[in-house]
Structure 1
Amino acid sequence: MPTYQLTVNGRGHSVEVDADTPLLWVLRDTLGLTGTKFGCGQGVCGACTVHLDGQAVKACQTSLKEAAGRTVITVEGLSKDGSHPVQRAWIAEDVAQCGYCQPGMIMTAAALLKRKARPSDHDIDEAFADHVCRCGTYPRVRKAVKRAAGGAK
């Protein structure tokens, strides 16, 4: 089995895993980074969202082969101490209820704000269209994104 190189949260890793293994399982099972959650395994719930070279992707649908040689940021790598503006906004707006989907939503919000500093409601809705929150925290997600963007106090 070949060895693949990838950078995760600023650290280089060599992994010897089948090339078609979903990045989700490399992160969770091989590297022990369990903040990225398994939700549906089909890329429709968003719980496994991470950044791949700065873009939000579903880790359950991204193979190790696709991620090799690239930079991955997980929710653990967003900030060491929870100081990222999105993380602070999530806490301030009390977004999480059960919390299971929240790491993926936080990563989506961070990618959205990197792309668009002041997103509209439409931009937020579009970014989160493929996320499922069984607790229905969508209104608080929108408030938190706006707070992180500086649009809410």
Structure 2
Amino acid sequence: MEPQRQSSEPSLTLSLESYHISEEYGFLLPNPLKELPDHYKPWMEIASKLPLLIESHQLRAHVYKMPLLDCGSLKGHRELRLAHLVLGAITMGFVWQEGETQPQKVLPRALAIPFVEVSRNLGLPPILVHSDLVLTNWTKRNQDSSRERAF
């Protein structure tokens, strides 16, 4: 009788969900949020008017009036991803509102502190990234189809 061989390789159990990967959508965030809780309304109000505020050169003034909000009320990966998208877009608009002639070199605390905190919680850099612009920021073309992809 031959002795049983024991595998020296540990058995790996991988969970796509633990990496926020979906079998159906891949790296796209399934059903991304469009709103954050009411506590983050100041961020959402600025984000909803971002193109107009940049065009009218008013974004920086609005950001300077923005309160410093605690990120502790953000619950789960989906809220963190939307917060990262919103704060990233506001940051890029704030820095580049006047174009290349007058980029802003310092962010106000009310923008910088939550953006860094959200970024750390997600393991992302505090800058607008591909996962914000594409993977978190999409909708179905046909809302009635449960199987249709965004692309």
TM-score, normalization by structure 1: 0.29
TM-score, normalization by structure 2: 0.29
- Identify the structure with the greater strand proportion: 1
Q: Which has the larger radius of gyration?
A: 2
- Identify the structure with the greater helix proportion: 2
